[in-house]
Amino acid sequence: MAATAFFSAFCVNAQGPAGGDLPLTIANHGRILLVLPFDNRSGQPSLDWIREAAADLLSSRFAAAGFEPTTRTDRIYALDHLGLPEGFQPSRASSIKLAQTLDADSIIVGSFTTDGSDIIAKASLVDVPHLRMKEEVTSRGPLQGIVEVFDTLAWKLTCELDPSFSAAEQTFIAEGKGMRLDAFEQYTRGITEPDQAERLRHLSMAVKLSPDFSSAWMALGEEDYNNQQYEAAAEAFAKVDRNGPDGLRAGFFRGLSLLFSGDYPNAERAFADVSRVLPLAEVVNDEAVAISRQGQDGTALFIQAAADDPRAAVYHFNLAVSLKRHGKTSAALNELEQCLKLRPNDSEAQSLLAAWKSPVLQPASDSDSGANADPLERIVRTFDAAAFRQAATMLDEMDAARLTKLPAEEQAQRLSAQARTYLDRGLLLEAERLYQSAVAADAQFPEAYVGLAEVRQRSGDAAAARKEAQMALALGPTADAYILLAQLDLAANRLSEANSEAGDALKLDPASSAAQTLVQQIQAKLGQSK
């Protein structure tokens, strides 16, 4: 049975203790979501790629809105864990089991069909603990506007998930404005194609069509890495947005690719960039390996890795090798014994322990077998994506906890500064979410309203942008608010108003290059109109 059909049949009749409706409390649960591929009800096999594209788009928007959607990799892993194939269409029991395996609080199930040149997408939210489905939401638009159709659907679902969510629908739509549909199709086909050569072909075409397509570069890098094309993989990973959702993971695998390519200095820098943000044991260990491969001492980092994950034998082994190399034999023996306690059948560690304890008793042939040779520290090749996300979430929670202890104005100031970094990168939804948080922290902070005005301006809602800028000015005169109003009036050909507002901005900030440029543009237009 299709996922949507199952939930419609199974959840709609769920009742509470007294026969009343079961309370739907998704917004009060955790924020982990499982977005299932949509059912293709169009009758057109050529549109099957939209099944996964819908899940990918919705997951991206949910993540930008502050939720934690599980990844496609997580979903495939869970299916494999349950003994189900990747393309499996979930049934009643397996869908819930899949969500529970992934610790998801809510499931999004949906379908799409076509009507002439339009696509119609429908989706529903399911509260996993209570097995209760919310009312279906719908979005419709032209097939060539698939991204906007699913962005609108994502906005409606987000408002269902969190009724207090205040980001505008236009901001969701603006998130996908720069995405080329042909590149997105190639990317989706690339991550779902079973044949490796075809995956490479589709992903290569995706980044050719859209050179800034970060997700496609990530997928292409993974393909090259798995195919041991390490130099090509390093180049692909380098083009992933380091501040985006794949940034840390790309940095880690770029470091591995550079290690395996023999480029140890750049490998060290790649791991260091990741560890500055999230110093997990595997990252710190591999940074130390890159250092030691250059003939330098990585002991301090090996100590850190072993302390971070003392139950992993590999870190004790590496620390032992590094300590022994730098003349600290007693400490090295202790670490090697700890390694063997955790992994008793490690033959290399066993040989090293015997050689280090009784070096003069070792036969000459042992040197040929490698027992007395200077061993290399081991590279950790696995990436615990769940641990990375959990650690990142913990860091965010720690930052949020520290933020709440600050005065309201300082909270708003810091949130607005963080929002500005997102805005400068074109991430409107993330920026709006933080600006809204800044307003919630301090409703008298004008810079937050100016930021919201710029978000509205970039998303194409001039009226809303004007309203936010005027709210900022009501709290106090700011050059940025006047500049934004002048830009809006210039675009609307209201030259007199624009000239006045640009002049007000210059009075407040005579050195503002943006205000000076506006004045020049307005004067030029006024001259043309005479």
- Check whether residue 165 and residue 186 sit in a common domain: no
- Check whether residue 29 and residue 144 sit in a common domain: yes
The helix-helix angle for 385-404 and 247-261 (nearest 10°) equals 130
- Check whether residue 163 and residue 192 sit in a common domain: no
Beta strands in 117-239 (DSSP E): 118-127, 132-133, 137-142
pLDDT for residue 285? 97
Q: What's at 77, amino acid-wise? A: Y
* End residue of a domain, out of 252, 271, 290: 271
In a domain, 276, yes or no: no
End-to-end CA distance of the chain: 70
Query: pLDDT band at residue 90, thresholds of 50, 70 and 90?
Result: low
Q: How many independent structural domains does the chain possess?
A: 4
pLDDT for residue 68? 86
In a domain, 209, yes or no: yes
Contact 376/288 with Cβ under 8 angstroms? Answer: no
331 exposed, middle or buried (CB, 10 Å; 0-12, 13-18, 19+)? middle
pLDDT digits (tens, 9 = 90+) for 485-502: 999 999 999 999 999 999
Distance of CA 35 to the CA centre of its chain: 15
In 3D, which of 377, 272, 358, 375 has the Cα closest to residue 319?
377
Contact 475/453 with Cβ under 8 angstroms? Answer: no
pLDDT digits (tens, 9 = 90+) for 343-364: 999 999 999 999 998 865 555 4
In a domain, 392, yes or no: no
Instruction: Tell me the mean pLDDT in the region 93-109.
Output: 76
Per-residue tokens: 389: 């996300």
In 3D, which of 54, 106, 107, 99 has the Cα closest to residue 81?
99
Instruction: Tell me the mean pLDDT in the region 134-145.
Output: 93
- Check whether residue 22 and residue 156 sit in a common domain: yes
In a domain, 388, yes or no: no
Query: pLDDT band at residue 24, thresholds of 50, 70 and 90?
Result: very low
- Check whether residue 57 and residue 136 sit in a common domain: yes
Region for 165 from its dihedrals, namely left if φ exceeds 0, alpha if ψ lies in -120 to 50, beta otherwise: beta
Collapsing DSSP to helix, strand or coil, 103 comes out as coil
Cα angle 91, 94, 95 (rounded to 5 degrees) comes to 75
* End residue of a domain, out of 243, 271, 299: 271
Query: pLDDT band at residue 372, thresholds of 50, 70 and 90?
Result: very low
**More confident position, 171 or 392:** 171
- Check whether residue 248 and residue 334 sit in a common domain: no
- What is the four-CA torsion angle of 384, 387, 389, 393, rounded to 10 degrees? -170
**More confident position, 460 or 96:** 460
Per-residue tokens: 491: 């675009």
Per-residue tokens: 368: 């040929």
Q: Note down the domain range covering 259.
A: 181-271
Instruction: Tell me the mean pLDDT in the region 145-154.
Output: 95
- Check whether residue 46 and residue 138 sit in a common domain: yes
Query: pLDDT band at residue 12, thresholds of 50, 70 and 90?
Result: very low
- Check whether residue 361 and residue 256 sit in a common domain: no
Collapsing DSSP to helix, strand or coil, 467 comes out as helix
Contact 397/136 with Cβ under 8 angstroms? Answer: no
In a domain, 287, yes or no: yes
Stated pTM of the model: 0.77
- Check whether residue 450 and residue 316 sit in a common domain: no
Cα angle 354, 355, 358 (rounded to 5 degrees) comes to 80
The CATH number that applies at residue 175 is 3.40.50.10070
In 3D, which of 461, 438, 456 has the Cα closest to residue 448?
438
Contact 112/54 with Cβ under 8 angstroms? Answer: yes
- Check whether residue 16 and residue 80 sit in a common domain: yes
- Check whether residue 310 and residue 358 sit in a common domain: yes
* End residue of a domain, out of 128, 150, 179: 179
In 3D, which of 525, 484, 483 has the Cα closest to residue 503?
483
pLDDT for residue 384? 66
- Check whether residue 328 and residue 341 sit in a common domain: yes
The CATH number that applies at residue 208 is 1.25.40.10
pLDDT digits (tens, 9 = 90+) for 189-209: 999 999 999 999 999 999 999
In a domain, 188, yes or no: yes
Separation between Cα atoms, residue 32 and residue 202, nearest integer Å: 30
pLDDT for residue 370? 43
In a domain, 449, yes or no: yes
Number of neighbouring beta carbons within 10 Å of residue 42: 18
Collapsing DSSP to helix, strand or coil, 253 comes out as helix
pLDDT digits (tens, 9 = 90+) for 286-311: 999 999 999 999 999 999 999 999 99
In a domain, 472, yes or no: yes
